[in-house]
Amino acid sequence: MSAPPAAADVKACCAAAYDGDAVALLLGASYHPGGLALTRRLATTVGLRPGQRVLDVASGPGTTALLLATEFAVSVDGVDLGDASLRKATAAAQAAGLGDRVLFHRGDAERLPFPAASFDAVVCECAFCTFPGKPAAASEFARVLRPGGRAGITDVTIAPGGLPGDLAGLAGWVACLADARPADAYAALLGGAGLTVTAVEEHDEALGRMVDQIDARLRVLRMSGGRNQALAGVDIERALELTGQAARAVAAGVAGYTMLVAEKPSSVPPRGDGRRGHRAGGSRAAGRC
Ligand SMILES: C[S@@+](CC[C@H](N)C(=O)[O-])C[C@H]1O[C@@H](n2cnc3c(N)ncnc32)[C@H](O)[C@@H]1O
């Protein structure tokens, strides 16, 4: 088996890929399966209330942050590593007249640039799976939550046994597949950070719909000769191969999509107290951006 890619390469590749216009062209306004409907479901399950302060980890284009601020009357800080995404998100917040309530910051999910206990809720959509240091990110979610606060993630799941070879490379990391875990491994990671999992919901069909949408858009773009500026540097044939593999993984029940919500206890037990959960195993992927 080839060596896993370096953590710094994974983060840089992911941020660069989601900074590009091709992703917006293929995915639309929000960069996760289930779109805005699943964001609303996540916010409702987390139990957001007006006036609360929410952190959106890996905020991408800022669509989730704007929805939460508009429909749930919360203030939101988004954090991401992609400079273009941060600029786009900030411009969208200002254009929506929400520049005072929705702010975006450059930062790494594994080292969040916020003090302890500063948020009522943390959300993270379709990104936890890409973090090379998942236990560190889970610990950061727990650290920045106030006691009694909740973290909600939605993410790609992969059944034990894993993925076909091509999707295990760096392209697979960027596509949120290569280091995705089974839902119970995510639950264990959150539990290992001292959070108590309160809800787990399968949304596998949302991943299938997203893969179909990407495939259909790629085929339309191929028919137009791939002349769209946003696709400069994108190998459409290769992208279609990967999309086909992803579609087969979804159809075979290997890949899915899950929502998990977990709560920080009101009184925090000392660390290393044998809480349930374990740290999931090491990375499996190797390849190039
Ligand atoms: C699939 S997109 C999801 C974006 C957004 N959550 C959404 O659902 O629309 C993944 C995002 O994670 C960001 N990202 C990847 N690794 C990160 C890290 N270590 N810290 C912060 N953001 C990261 C990428 O820049 C990208 O914007």
Q: What order do you get walking across the sheet with 119-125 strand by strand?
A: 102-106, 75-80, 53-57, 119-125, 145-158, 255-263, 196-202
Q: DSSP readout, 110-146? A: TB-SS-TT-EEEEEEES-GGG-S-HHHHHHHHHHHEE
pLDDT at 178: 81
Residue matched to tokens 């999509």: 257
CA distance 81 to 107: 6
For residue 145, pLDDT over 80 is answered with yes
pLDDT at 269: 55
In this prediction, residue 173 has a pLDDT band, given cuts at 50, 70 and 90, of low
Which residue is closest in CA terms to ligand 1's atom 26?
A: 60
Identify which of 31, 141, 177, 179 to mutate to test ligand 1's pocket (most ligand atoms within 8 A of the CB): 31
Determine the distance separating the centroid of ligand 1 and the alpha carbon of 267, expressed in angstroms.
31
Identify which of 18, 27, 106 to mutate to test ligand 1's pocket (most ligand atoms within 8 A of the CB): 18
Ligand 1 atom at shortest distance from the alpha carbon of 85: 27
For residue 170, pLDDT over 70 is answered with no
For residue 199, pLDDT over 70 is answered with yes
Work out the number of other CB atoms within 10 angstroms of the CB of residue 200: 14
Residues with Cβ within 8 Å of 41's Cβ and at least 6 positions away in sequence, in order, are: 34, 201, 259
CA distance 30 to 154: 13
Determine the distance separating the centroid of ligand 1 and the alpha carbon of 223, expressed in angstroms.
30
Ligand 1 atom at shortest distance from the alpha carbon of 56: 6
- Would you tell me the crossing angle of helices 236-251 and 204-223 to the nearest 10 degrees? 150
Q: What is the largest CA-CA distance in the chain?
A: 60
Which residue is closest in CA terms to ligand 1's atom 24?
A: 15
Share of the chain above pLDDT 90, in %: 66
pLDDT at 277: 31
CA distance 99 to 93: 5
Q: What value, to the nearest 5°, has the Cα angle with vertex 108 and ends 105 and 109?
A: 105
In this prediction, residue 288 has a pLDDT band, given cuts at 50, 70 and 90, of very low
Which tokens sit at 128?
Answer: 């936890």
CA distance 231 to 155: 26
Residue matched to tokens 């339309």: 220
pLDDT at 161: 77
Identify which of 59, 83, 177 to mutate to test ligand 1's pocket (most ligand atoms within 8 A of the CB): 59
Determine the distance separating the centroid of ligand 1 and the alpha carbon of 100, expressed in angstroms.
22
CA distance 170 to 9: 9
| CA separation, residue 121 to residues 47, 150, 263 (Å) | 9, 5, 9
User: Looking at per-residue confidence, does 174 or 142 come out higher?
Assistant: 142
In this prediction, residue 16 has a pLDDT band, given cuts at 50, 70 and 90, of confident
Residues with Cβ within 8 Å of 9's Cβ and at least 6 positions away in sequence, in order, are: 170, 289
Query: pLDDT of 37-73, one tens digit each?
Result: 999 999 999 999 999 999 999 999 999 999 999 999 9
For residue 282, pLDDT over 90 is answered with no
pLDDT at 75: 98
pLDDT at 1: 47
Which tokens sit at 146?
Answer: 């106030």
What's the whole-number mean pLDDT along residues 165-184? Answer: 79
pLDDT at 231: 75
pLDDT at 172: 75
CA distance 156 to 244: 16
Share of the chain above pLDDT 70, in %: 88
pLDDT at 24: 85
Residue matched to tokens 């399950």: 45
- pTM here? 0.89
Determine the distance separating the centroid of ligand 1 and the alpha carbon of 130, expressed in angstroms.
8
In this prediction, residue 265 has a pLDDT band, given cuts at 50, 70 and 90, of very high
Query: pLDDT of 102-119, one tens digit each?
Result: 999 999 999 999 999 999
What's the whole-number mean pLDDT along residues 228-244? Answer: 84
Residues with Cβ within 8 Å of 42's Cβ and at least 6 positions away in sequence, in order, are: 123, 125, 152, 154, 259, 261
Identify which of 9, 10, 11, 14 to mutate to test ligand 1's pocket (most ligand atoms within 8 A of the CB): 14
Indicate the range of 26-35, 127-136, 199-208, 230-239 predicted with least confidence: 230-239
Q: Average per-residue pLDDT in the chain?
A: 88
Determine the distance separating the centroid of ligand 1 and the alpha carbon of 59, expressed in angstroms.
6
In this prediction, residue 271 has a pLDDT band, given cuts at 50, 70 and 90, of low
User: Which residue ranges have their beta carbon within 6 Å of ligand 1?
Assistant: 11, 14-15, 18, 30-32, 58-60, 63-64, 79-82, 85, 108-110, 125-127, 130-131, 176
